[in-house]
Amino acid sequence: MIEQARRNRLAGQILFVLLFLAILFLRLMPLNPGRVVWPGPDLAMCLTLAWTLRRPEQAPVLVIALLFLLEDILLLRPLGLWAAVVVMGTEAARRREQHWRELPFMIEWLRVATLMAMMMLTYRFALALFFLPRPPLGQAILQFIATTAAYPLVVGLMRWPLGLRRGLSDSETRQR
């Protein structure tokens, strides 16, 4: 029984990492060369927050930190800054995951949107604090809107083909 739970947790971690790397690969592809008018959503952040709220044991903090550090390196962002902000945001969501579990999806969506806004503001504030170049505010707001709109789609895709729903985690299922 314990071996099966460990196998499920490891399979979930591997699936999370593979999906994250696929999103990163698609983000690095030059699909639309030239000037981008409407920035796309941050699907990696949506995936990470949704996975953390549905299966927190399958998205350990070290894996999240390493994946977003890799993303910082490949996207030429300030090294580790966005990774640190995402780790703080996911840990805040992880602590509240049990309280959010019983609430309807609309409330979860609102709370996740608030958390994403706070994460993006923290990132912009840190960039300004250290006099690093920031993307235009309008572009950051459009990306926030796109990311917030993409969150239900990511959750829906996680629920339908992958079967990840809100509910008892593997560790709580074993305890019952």
Residues 24 and 16: beta-carbon distance below 8 Å:
no
* Residue 100 reports pLDDT greater than 50: yes
pLDDT in tens, 62-89: 999 999 999 999 999 999 999 999 999 9
pLDDT in tens, 121-134: 999 999 999 999 99
Joined together, the tokens standing for residue 42 give 């941050």
DSSP conformational letter for 37: S
Supply φ then ψ for residue 156, to 5 degrees: -65, -40
pLDDT at 39: 84
pLDDT in tens, 135-173: 899 999 999 999 999 999 999 998 887 666 666 554 444
> At 37, is the pLDDT very low, low, confident or very high (cuts 50, 70, 90)?
confident
Joined together, the tokens standing for residue 44 give 């990696």
Q: Model pTM?
A: 0.88
Domain extent listing, the chain = 2-28+41-175
Joined together, the tokens standing for residue 28 give 């690095």
The average pLDDT across 10-33 equals: 90
